[in-house]
Amino acid sequence: MLVLVLNSGSSSIKYQVRDVPDDGGSGEDVIVTEGIVERIGEGPVKDHAQALEAISRKVGDAVGDTDIDAVGHRVVHGGERFDEPVLINNEITRAIERLNPLAPLHNPANVLGIRAITEKWPKMPQVAVFDTAFHRRSLPEHAWRYAVPDELYRRFGIRRYGFHGTSHEYVSRKAAAFLGTPLEDFDAVIAHLGNGASVTAVKGGRSIDTSMGFTPLEGLVMGTRSGDIDAGILLFLQREGYTAEEIDQMLNRESGLKALAGNNDMRSVVEAAEDGDARAAMALEAAAYRLAKYIGGYHVAVGGAHAVVFTAGIGENSWQFRERVVGRLDALEIMLDERANRERSKEPRIISTEDSAIPVLVVPTDEERAIAEATAAVVSAAKA
List contacts with ligand ADP (CB under 6 A): 194-196, 223, 265-267, 312-314, 317-318
Residues with Cβ within 8 Å of 7's Cβ and at least 6 positions away in sequence, in order, are: 13, 14, 15, 73, 74, 367, 368
Q: How many CA atoms are closer than 13 Å to the CA of 300, on its beta-carbon side?
A: 6
Whose Cβ is closer to ligand ADP: residue 24's or residue 223's?
Answer: 223
Question: CA-based angle 33:36:39, to the nearest 5?
Answer: 160
Closer CB to ligand ADP, 194 or 213, in the complex: 194
- Distance (Å, rounded) from C-alpha 80 to C-alpha 234? 26
Q: Give bridge partners of residue 126 from the DSSP assignment.
A: 71
> How far, in whole angstroms, is CA 47 from its chain's centroid?
25
β strands within 66-145, DSSP E? 70-75, 86-87, 126-130
In the complex, the smallest distance separating the C-beta of residue 294 from ligand ADP, rounded to whole angstroms, is 18
Q: Which of 131, 187, 209, 366 is catalytic?
A: 131
Q: Report the Cα 185 to chain-centroid distance in Å.
A: 23
Question: Three-state DSSP class for 130?
Answer: strand
* Least gap, CB of 195 to ligand ADP (angstroms): 4
- Catalytic (active site) residue 131: yes
Closest to ligand ADP by CB, 9 vs 79, is: 9
Which amino acid is present at 117? Answer: I
Closer residue to ligand ADP (CB): 24 or 162 = 162
Are 114 and 96 spatial neighbours (Cβ–Cβ below 8 Å)?
yes
Task: State which residue, 11 or 195, has the beta carbon closest to ligand ADP.
Answer: 195
Contacts with 198 (C-beta within 8 Å, 6 or more apart), sequence order: 162, 163, 164, 168, 192, 210, 211, 212, 216, 219, 220
Report the distance separating Cα 151 and Cα 143, nearest Å: 18
Complex with ligand ADP: residue 257 or 378, whichever CB lies closer = 257
Q: Checking DSSP bridges between strand 126-130 and strand 70-75, what pairing results, if any?
A: parallel
Task: Tell me the β-bridge partners of 4.
Answer: 17, 71
CB of 186 to ligand ADP, least distance (A): 23
Least separation, in Å, of the C-beta of 246 and ligand ADP? 24
Residue nearest to ligand ADP (CB): 313
Residues annotated as catalytic (active site), given as ranges: 131
